[in-house]
Amino acid sequence: MMMRWGFYEMQPGISYVFPNISVFNRNGRGGLHKRAEVASSQHCNFIEVPADFIKNKTEVRITGKALGSTLAIEDVQRLYAPGAPPGGIKYILHTEPSLSRRDGVGGSITPPLRWNDRKWVDAFVRMLVAISKRFGTPPAGIEIHPGGRNNTNENLIRSIISIRTQFEKTFKIAPFIVVENRTGQFVSNGEQIAVLWGEILSTGKALIDSVGVVLDIQQLYTVTKNDFENQLNLIPPGAVKGLHVHYRHRTPSLENEIPWKIVFAWLAEMRRDIFINPEVHHHAQAVDTMKFCGRMIGRGTESGS
């Protein structure tokens, strides 16, 4: 039986996202065609596409904009190649994570996420719509990040609704939205994810299927360490729409301090649709990470451990 999640359909189980590896971003951010070709060869359902603010010296040179600037339409046209993805591959926009950026000549910035500022949110949404128009088709999903403690769950949920509303107006269809937990931001551990999900549920049924979290396992481990398993188990299964699987942006291993057996046993208990993004930087690492996940998922299915 097919399950409807947001506006797209997929078989119940695991779907893979081919990550935004470095080769796709050598002079700008590229487009969807090469990404879709590579994703299809690896049997991935989705491709990840960056939707950051101006983030490095190459983009400063191409756009003439300052580091950390929101993209205007002309910046989108300079940074992205046009065209929809072939072969039915869908894309997910991975938006500004609020990381420290450097321009190569001494300048640096950590762009703040200001979900509490409606004008900032409006500019952010316009940027996402401009990127999607460049591709000629809306994304299946959009990943956003919580930002600092100046933001609240109420701010975040209001902004999610704004994003979905504008995409509905523009494309007659709305993407799913997932919040990624991040070290140092206001949603980083299992308890905070549970509180966010509770507030999403309190808005009614409209957001339950199309809004949630994409759980970055490495980030969760970084902030919880010895309390990792407890914090993992605090996360409501219904909140989790996807996982980022990596070990410090490299291929994971059972030799890591992250207890991957526990993670995949927890995943096996969900028995629901989920996507996995092997969030690494190179093609071989992406392939190896998906193989690792496949082995771990098979082990969990067979033994439940």
pLDDT in tens, 62-99: 999 999 999 999 999 999 999 999 888 999 999 999 99
The 3-state DSSP class for residue 174 equals coil
CA distance 62 to 237: 43
| Res. 141: pLDDT tops 60 | yes
The confidence band for 5, taking pLDDT boundaries of 50, 70 and 90, is very low
φ/ψ region of 241 (left if φ > 0, alpha if ψ in -120 to 50, else beta) reads alpha
| Res. 229: pLDDT tops 50 | yes
State mean pLDDT over 128-153. 98
Q: Tokens 């996507």 — which residue?
A: 275
- pLDDT for residue 107: 82
On whether the CB atoms of residues 134 and 80 are closer than 8 A, the answer is yes
Strands 240-244 and 8-10: unpaired
State mean pLDDT over 123-134. 98
- pLDDT for residue 302: 42
CA distance 181 to 192: 9
The 3-state DSSP class for residue 20 equals coil
- pLDDT for residue 88: 86
CATH fold for the domain made of 3-303: TIM Barrel (3.20.20)
| Res. 12: pLDDT tops 80 | no
- Residue percentage of the chain with pLDDT more than 90: 87
State mean pLDDT over 105-124. 94
Q: Which strand (E) or helix (H) includes residue 109?
A: strand 108-109
CA distance 79 to 95: 15
What amino acid is encoded at 88 in this protein? G
| Res. 3: pLDDT tops 50 | no
State mean pLDDT over 243-265. 98
On whether the CB atoms of residues 129 and 86 are closer than 8 A, the answer is no
State mean pLDDT over 276-295. 97
The confidence band for 257, taking pLDDT boundaries of 50, 70 and 90, is very high
State mean pLDDT over 180-190. 98
- pLDDT for residue 210: 96
> Model's pTM, two decimal places?
0.93
| Res. 138: pLDDT tops 80 | yes
